[in-house]
Amino acid sequence: MAADLIRDIGFDPLDCGPLRNARFIEPFAMATVELAYVQPGGPALTYRFDKLP
């Protein structure tokens, strides 16, 4: 299972719903790579998801 592999490398898996949601996750990952490795500042980048009240 993918969640087990994610845990094995030290991360906490997050269920993002059905596979059709991947079309939203991929652009976020691309933006993260751009900010961390292409733009000035380097990979010391963090992000956090919170639900708004």
Read off the pLDDT of residues 2-39 as tens digits, 9 standing for 90 and up.
Answer: 899 999 999 999 888 888 888 888 898 898 889 888 98
CA nearest 28: which of 18, 36, 40? 36
pLDDT of residue 47: 76
With beta carbons less than 8 A apart as the criterion, state whether 36 and 42 touch: yes
Q: What is the pTM of this model?
A: 0.51
Residues 36-53: what's their mean pLDDT?
82
Buried-state track 2-41, b at ≥16 Cβ within 10 A, e below 16: eeeeeeeeeeeeeeeeeeeeeeeeeeeeeeeeeeeeeeee
Q: How many alpha carbons fall within 13 Å on the CB side of residue 13?
A: 12
